């Protein structure tokens, strides 16, 4: 925005306001048009008053828009809103969630650095570390997510990052984020937490001591399965490096997708409460069914980390995974018998989805890698949406009848 424009009272005073207010209003800077909704700036470049003005912008001497690969008002509004919700100094938006992870490692690590990764992460995350980062001389080792002693023992003198999902995909395994942050800090490493499953509505890892948070905004931040995007949040000194990577490499979020995510954030807290309530009801129901061998959901008292989830989260999330009788064949029969729930590997949608992780989201992993991550052939993942929970229960009952 032009440095000559002062919105004054047109912008909201957000000093000291609560989470829900930030989710609706943070990051919006109104233009001279006085728009009430968030403006969408669909432009690749920006016009300058003079050649000197252009030179000052490009050099960074004067703040302002330069090129939408790394400066766009709509994307910036989304970044500022995420930063406000996560309690971060700055956030940087990317084209996808995987691009967010890529940007963190490419910006902050070099050949010869060592990264510790939880064994319980998304299949594509493992592929990114194994097939690509290792190719460029970055050392990667894997640690059981919940075993703090294992993390401490595995840190080397060249360990740069610890990377975790908590809760993990798809088994809802947790790590004590505050305790792991202390271990990382003591050894001079940084802790990166993928907060996709919880969102800042349920968990704020930076406030627990993490250095960086990443999200696939494609999931619950959007909330309706419309757009691809990602975001990284943390201290300004770290985010500057990531902005530099975006400026050069260009894994950039589009302004249109940023605008969609701004709309999603306005209802984030309401949606997450509804997701959690329905997921809890379905997890408790599934735990009582004869055809179900095990249910993975931190909201259940039977979950080994239920108390930890109570301490560091404000809800248990929307993803319920469970094992059924009959191995892969039983899992496929269960999924194929459903008639309401969508068979797709996406999650975070208002529509409930069901998938077989061993042959979809984690299908590219070798059998031993899946076994190490606890992904059995009998495992089914349900990402609970916003439908009537009785209808979802009835559809899952169709799956149970097919076993």
Query: 46-101: per-residue pLDDT in tens?
Result: 999 999 999 999 999 999 999 999 999 999 999 999 999 999 999 999 999 999 99
User: pLDDT tens-digit profile of 194-219?
Assistant: 999 999 999 999 999 999 999 999 99
pLDDT band at residue 3 under the 50/70/90 scheme: low
| In contact, 167 and 319? CB cutoff 8 Å | yes
**Which of 297, 307, 298 lies closest to 382, judged by CA?**
297
Assess whether pLDDT exceeds 80 at residue 235. yes
Assess whether pLDDT exceeds 70 at residue 2. no
Task: Identify the three-state secondary structure at position 117.
Answer: strand
Percent of the chain with pLDDT over 70: 99
Asked if 135 and 194 sit in the same domain, the reply is yes
Asked if 260 and 141 sit in the same domain, the reply is yes
Asked if 186 and 321 sit in the same domain, the reply is no
pLDDT band at residue 369 under the 50/70/90 scheme: confident
Asked if 85 and 35 sit in the same domain, the reply is yes
- CATH code of the domain covering residue 377: 3.90.1150.10
C-beta neighbour count of 157 within 10 angstroms: 7
Assess whether pLDDT exceeds 60 at residue 1. no
| In contact, 263 and 297? CB cutoff 8 Å | no
**Over residues 2-16, mean pLDDT:** 84
**Which of 245, 402, 365 lies closest to 230, judged by CA?**
245
The label of the residue with tokens 């194994």 reads 130
> Does residue 230 fall inside a structural domain?
yes
Q: Does the predicted TM-score (pTM) go above 0.85?
A: yes
Q: Is the dihedral of CA 213, 216, 222, 223 positive or negative?
A: negative
State residue 122's pLDDT score.
86
Picking from 241, 264, 287, the residue at the C-terminal end of a domain is 264
| In contact, 199 and 220? CB cutoff 8 Å | yes
State residue 318's pLDDT score.
98
pLDDT band at residue 42 under the 50/70/90 scheme: very high
The label of the residue with tokens 């260009």 reads 250
Asked if 291 and 315 sit in the same domain, the reply is yes
Q: Is the peptide bond before 56 cis (omega within 30 degrees of 0)?
A: no
Residue 6 has φ and ψ, to the nearest 5°, of -125, 110
Domain count, the chain: 2
Instruction: Say if strands 159-165 and 114-118 run parallel, antiparallel, or are unpaired.
Output: parallel
The label of the residue with tokens 């460029």 reads 136
**Over residues 346-366, mean pLDDT:** 92
Calpha distance 38→31 (Å, rounded): 10
User: pLDDT tens-digit profile of 241-275?
Assistant: 999 999 999 999 999 999 999 999 999 999 999 99
Task: Identify the three-state secondary structure at position 316.
Answer: coil
Can you give the residue range of the structural domain that contains 347? 269-401
Calpha distance 109→153 (Å, rounded): 21
Asked if 357 and 218 sit in the same domain, the reply is no
User: Which token pair is 3?
Assistant: 């440095």
Asked if 243 and 337 sit in the same domain, the reply is no
C-beta neighbour count of 236 within 10 angstroms: 11
| In contact, 99 and 125? CB cutoff 8 Å | no
**Which of 207, 218, 171, 209 lies closest to 190, judged by CA?**
209
| In contact, 287 and 306? CB cutoff 8 Å | no
């Amino acid at each position: 925005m032009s440095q000559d424009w002062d919105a004054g009272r047109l912008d909201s005073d957000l000093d000291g306001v609560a989470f829900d207010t930030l989710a609706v209003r943070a990051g919006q800077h109104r233009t001279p048009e006085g728009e009430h909704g968030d403006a969408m700036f669909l432009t690749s470049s920006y016009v300058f008053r003079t050649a000197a003005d252009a030179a000052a912008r490009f050099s960074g001497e004067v703040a302002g828009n330069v090129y939408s690969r790394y400066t766009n008002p709509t994307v910036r509004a989304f970044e500022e809103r995420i930063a406000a919700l996560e309690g971060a100094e700055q956030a940087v938006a990317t084209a996808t969630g995987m691009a967010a992870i890529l940007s963190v490692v490419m910006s902050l690590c070099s050949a010869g650095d060592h990264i510790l990764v939880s064994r319980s992460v998304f299949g594509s995350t493992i592929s990114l570390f194994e097939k690509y980062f290792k190719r460029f001389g970055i050392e990667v080792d894997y640690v059981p997510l919940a075993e703090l002693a294992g993390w401490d023992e595995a840190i080397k003198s060249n360990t740069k990052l610890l990377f975790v999902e908590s809760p993990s995909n798809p088994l809802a395994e947790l790590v004590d984020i505050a305790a792991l942050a202390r271990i990382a800090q003591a050894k001079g490493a940084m802790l990166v937490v993928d907060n996709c499953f919880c969102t800042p509505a349920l968990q704020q890892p930076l406030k627990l001591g993490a250095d960086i948070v990443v999200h696939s905004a494609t999931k619950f931040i959007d909330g309706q399965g419309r757009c691809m995007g990602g975001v990284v949040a943390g201290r300004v000194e770290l985010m500057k490096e990531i902005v530099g990577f975006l400026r050069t490499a260009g894994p950039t979020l589009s302004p249109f997708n940023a605008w969609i995510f701004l709309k999603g954030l306005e209802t984030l807290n309401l949606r997450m409460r509804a997701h959690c309530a329905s997921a809890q009801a379905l997890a408790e129901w599934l735990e009582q069914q004869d055809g179900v061998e095990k249910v993975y959901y931190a909201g259940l008292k039977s979950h080994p980390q239920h108390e930890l989830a109570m301490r560091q989260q404000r809800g248990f999330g929307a993803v319920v995974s469970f094992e059924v009788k009959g191995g892969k064949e039983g899992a496929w029969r269960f999924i194929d018998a459903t008639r309401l729930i969508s068979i797709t590997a996406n999650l975070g949608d208002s529509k409930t989805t069901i998938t077989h992780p061993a042959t979809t989201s984690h299908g590219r992993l070798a059998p031993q890698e899946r076994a190490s991550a606890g992904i059995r052939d009998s495992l089914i993942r349900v990402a609970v949406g916003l439908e009537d929970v009785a209808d979802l229960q009835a559809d899952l009952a169709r799956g149970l009848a097919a076993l």
